[in-house]
Chains A and B, each alone.
Chain A
Amino acid sequence: NAGVTQTPKFRILKIGQSMTLQCTQDMNHNYMYWYRQDPGMGLKLIYYSVGAGITDKGEVPNGYNVSRSTTEDFPLRLELAAPSQTSVYFCASSYSDRGPYEQYFGPGTRLTVT
């Protein structure tokens, strides 16, 4: 089991560019999540998905989009990157058939927008 994998590990974007952060899990989890972590801060939920074809906004969704066409993949799209999106992004997944729904995290993508 690879668990949750994320690509790329690092990326530098210019203001106004777009990119997709990839996330894949091989644990057959229905629930998946995207978080951002700003320096010295906790994690804020951007979007989440409870299954293929079903997504919903979290706490800080502005400037991002997601899709979930398969159980395994949950890409995060940044359109028109802004310096405020400089952050570390984590993808996570969890079981859906029983609590307490502990989440499994990927290694993160460090994004800088200049």
Chain B
Amino acid sequence: GDSVTQMEGPVTLSEEAFLTINCTYTATGYPSLFWYVQYPGEGLQLLLKATKADDKGSNKGFEATYRKETTSFHLEKGSVQVSDSAVYFCALSWGTTDSWGKLQFGAGTQVVVTP
């Protein structure tokens, strides 16, 4: 079946460091891919998305490129801030009517940014 694999956390960084969180997926075909972020004590928020190969999603300084050849959707940010401390989830969706919009989530990666 479909699955999403993320690098394990926690990832601890200093402010202004470069962040990469690896995400790979297993699926037949070309799903839509998402990154969600969960700040402490809150629900998940959509951070960015990509719907087809080579698409690049970007938001709040974060970027991720849909790589069909490596079935990956790695999240990157060039200079993190303390406010980026959160749990980041990679997810896929089929975007077809009969998938009913269901998301397959990775386990999440906790990121801790220290001053």
Task: Give the distance to chain A from B89, nearest Cβ to Cβ, in Å.
Answer: 7
When the two chains form their complex, are residues B51 and A99 in contact, meaning their CB atoms are under 8 A apart?
yes
- Separation of A31 and B45 alpha carbons in the complex (Å): 17
Stretch with Cβ within 8 A of B (4 or more), from A13-21, A43-51, A61-69, A75-83: A43-51
Closest A-chain residue to B90, C-beta based? A42
Which residues of the other chain, B, contact A95 by a CB distance below 8 angstroms?
101
When the two chains form their complex, are residues B96 and A99 in contact, meaning their CB atoms are under 8 A apart?
yes
Interface size for B (C-beta < 8 A) is 25
Task: Give the distance to chain A from B111, nearest Cβ to Cβ, in Å.
Answer: 14
Total A-B pairs, Cβ < 8 A: 68
Q: Which one of A33, A40, A42, A108 lies within 8 Å of B42 (CB-CB)? A: A108
CB of B43 within 8 A of chain A? Answer: yes
A 15-55 binary contact with B (CB < 8 Å = 1; else 0): 00000000000000001010000001111010010100000
CB of B93 within 8 A of chain A? Answer: yes
When the two chains form their complex, are residues A101 and B107 in contact, meaning their CB atoms are under 8 A apart?
no
CB of B73 within 8 A of chain A? Answer: no
12 A-B pairs with C-beta separation under 8 A = A4-B43, A33-B101, A41-B107, A50-B100, A58-B102, A90-B44, A92-B44, A100-B32, A101-B95, A102-B93, A103-B44, A106-B43
